[in-house]
Structure 1
Amino acid sequence: MKYAVSPAPVYSLPIAGSEEQFPVNRIFCVGRNYAAHAREMGKDPDREPPFFFMKPANATVVAGNDEVTIPYPPKTANFHHEIELVVAIAKGGANIQVEQALEHVYGYAVGLDMTRRDVQLEARDKGRPWEFGKSFAQSAPIGPIHKASEVGHVREGEIAVTVNGESRQRSDISKLIWSVAESIAYLSEYETLEPGDIIMTGTPEGVNAVKQGELMVGSIAGLGEIRVRVAD
């Protein structure tokens, strides 16, 4: 096939203990999925239906124990970290039942949803889309994917991030308002999931700004850690 312009590159994530790569298709993100974070954002944490926003595939940054660097993005003075459990989808489907949802999961990883908070909140307050605040290149550093067949399904365990060694966010996966299975099932009612899709499941309380030169270390029990520095 002859293309008019060069096709977009395939973005992928490493698979722990394997030479294979997991190709990234789409990145879905669950908003306000921990009650304490909903409160710190000024919202009622009641268990209303989940909502989602998306990031482009080029938001992906391969992160891990070896430090990686991301740019400080333009048009913001309030660049926030949000530590999240990342779910990699192996098998697609629509109208997936909660009881079968985890059968669609390939594995799990540690991720950061980096956010231009000032841009996001201005858009929110004006009733506009969040894209400029959330959906930009290199805004999703993600570590190696750990196969569910090897580590099991992540239902609990500490999730945390430090900045320059200072604790910023610390909670437990068990505090998700909508579980991984529920999020998959709900999302699949609106959008047919496809192999390679990524779901970022939401962040706990403690989101805050990072400055140029600062080092974030994010971790989830059983999934290791990622080390991400903001460029000077």
Structure 2
Amino acid sequence: MTGAPPDVSIHHLRAITNESTVELPDRVVEILAAVGPDTDVLVSDVSARSFAAATRRSYSKQEPNLVPFINSLQALGDELVLICQVEHGDELVTAVVRATDRSLVAATAIDRSVGIVHITVQELCARLRASNAPGVELALEVASQCLADDRVRIFEQGALSTARTVLTKYTMAAEKGFDVRGLDGFAGALVPLGDEQPGFCIVQADTSVGITAFTPGNADVVAAMGIGGLSLHSETTEETG
């Protein structure tokens, strides 16, 4: 894994967008203004060209308005950029900033409820049983406790940035006494995918959570992990993993 990219606060991201002459979609401005001061900004550093390609593969069919966003990235070629992402419900703001001078290149907002994908617990269990990917038994242990016809949402987000996030979050959780299993294998399986946008799903049974990652397109299981000892009222969301 490469060195961690610099932290970017929501305050800093607002300042970058406010000072920029880049034309921003109205929804980007609205979301950045609406989120709270403690909102996390997920940051990853990649080449502009590779992120443009990943965005086209993942979203261009349901989000044709991303063409100007993708074109702005492609114009930078292999220049290193910071991908700054902010969650707001089903919407995701992505701002691309030059790594050199922190100037804004482009920004967009995507409604991920469009073309939303679900998987039944029964199908998830079948895929986990058929896979020899790292940690599948951990997610299967949790999923097997859920109703077979329950539907679980599959959401997409960057592989490398997710690997960094889960390592940080769940290493801290383990230090606090939570039963975190399969973390290293899960993160390690995501790293080679780089800026690809694999699918993830989360199941919870009582005080345990299972997280499963799929290959882009959701054809195969990449890895899974489990967390135990959670509060019955805990909510594990996309921001956590």
Report TM bin, short chain: under 0.3
TM-score (norm 2): 0.26
TM-score (norm 1): 0.27
Larger relative strand fraction:
1
Which has the higher relative contact order, 1 or 2, with Cα contacts under 8 A spaced 6 or more apart? 1
Q: Which has the larger radius of gyration?
A: 2
